[in-house]
Amino acid sequence: MRIILLGPPGAGKGTQAQSISNKYSIPQISTGDIFRKNITDGTELGILAKSYMDKGLLVPDNVTIDLVKNRLKEKDTEKGFLLDGFPRTIHQAEVLEALLSEHQVALDVALQIEVPREFIVMRMTGRRVCPSCGASYHLEFNPPMLESICDDCGSKLIQRKDDKRETVEERLEIYDFQTLPLIEYYTKKGKLKTVDGTKAINEVFEEIIKILGEANDHHKESAGN
């Protein structure tokens, strides 16, 4: 299975990506992981990427693309992969399509986890964490017994900067600008499938498995013709 995972910040992509990776025995590949590994390993591309990140700049498209290309050449991707965070733009999607075509394989599905904007804002801004023991809570879905106090160690809970409303809104705006055009792109390609990310985690996963099963059946039929 060759899968792209799409969805805004806070849609629950990370949780579902891990479950998909485990079920289908394919690597979960995120640009963040690729950056970190190449920086740790001191590769030429990693050093180049770090030079931009240290300045607070976005890693240029060509560097990101080269890093992903190198990752997709590794042996563990031969039977498939799950891409999370790439492609982010139409250009990246076109490069990926050309790369797969070179190896005479194709994308099976672009899987979108759809969650309404206000639901994401509520989900992310409600998060609280304990700075002492690392326990996590949610004001609505998993509140502490005592307001703002960690159940485990009694420390005062905090809200991370990434979970503040203005930060969440900014990230969603960037997503809309960069990534929403991909929805139209993969719809036209007949590759887009959408699941309702507001459901319980296990229900979302069940829906995903059904979609991927149908995509896999279609792939086998195409290969047989």
26-69 confidence digits (pLDDT tens): 999 998 899 999 999 999 999 999 998 888 887 888 999 999 99
In a domain, 161, yes or no: no
Identify whether the C-beta of residue 47 lies closer than 8 Å to the C-beta of residue 26: no
Task: State the pLDDT at residue 123.
Answer: 92
pLDDT class for 219, splitting at 50, 70, 90? Answer: low
Residue range 179-188, pLDDT digits in tens? 889 999 999 9
Cα(189)–Cα(130) distance, rounded to whole angstroms? Answer: 45
More confident residue, 216 or 26: 26
Task: State the pLDDT at residue 114.
Answer: 94
Cα(58)–Cα(178) distance, rounded to whole angstroms? Answer: 13
In a domain, 198, yes or no: yes
pLDDT of 221 higher than 70:
no
Whole-angstrom CA distances from 224 to 100, 107, 221 are 19, 17, 5
Residue 20: domain span: 2-26+79-118+169-224
pTM for this one? 0.83
In a domain, 181, yes or no: yes
Residue range 88-102, pLDDT digits in tens? 889 999 999 999 999
In a domain, 136, yes or no: no
In a domain, 207, yes or no: yes
In a domain, 102, yes or no: yes
Q: Which amino acid is at 41?
A: D
pLDDT of 223 higher than 70:
no
Does residue 38 sit in helix, strand or coil?
helix
Task: State the pLDDT at residue 224.
Answer: 56
Q: In CATH, what number is assigned to the domain containing residue 189? A: 3.40.50.300
Residues contacting 125, CB < 8 A, separation 6+: 159, 163, 164, 165, 168
In a domain, 31, yes or no: no
Q: What is the arithmetic mean of pLDDT over 172-201? A: 92
Number of domains in the chain: 1
Active site residues: 13, 88, 127, 160, 171
Task: State the pLDDT at residue 180.
Answer: 85
In a domain, 215, yes or no: yes
Residue range 116-164, pLDDT digits in tens? 999 999 999 999 999 999 999 999 999 999 999 999 999 999 999 989 9
Q: What is the arithmetic mean of pLDDT over 196-206? A: 94
Task: State the pLDDT at residue 108.
Answer: 94
Task: State the pLDDT at residue 56.
Answer: 82
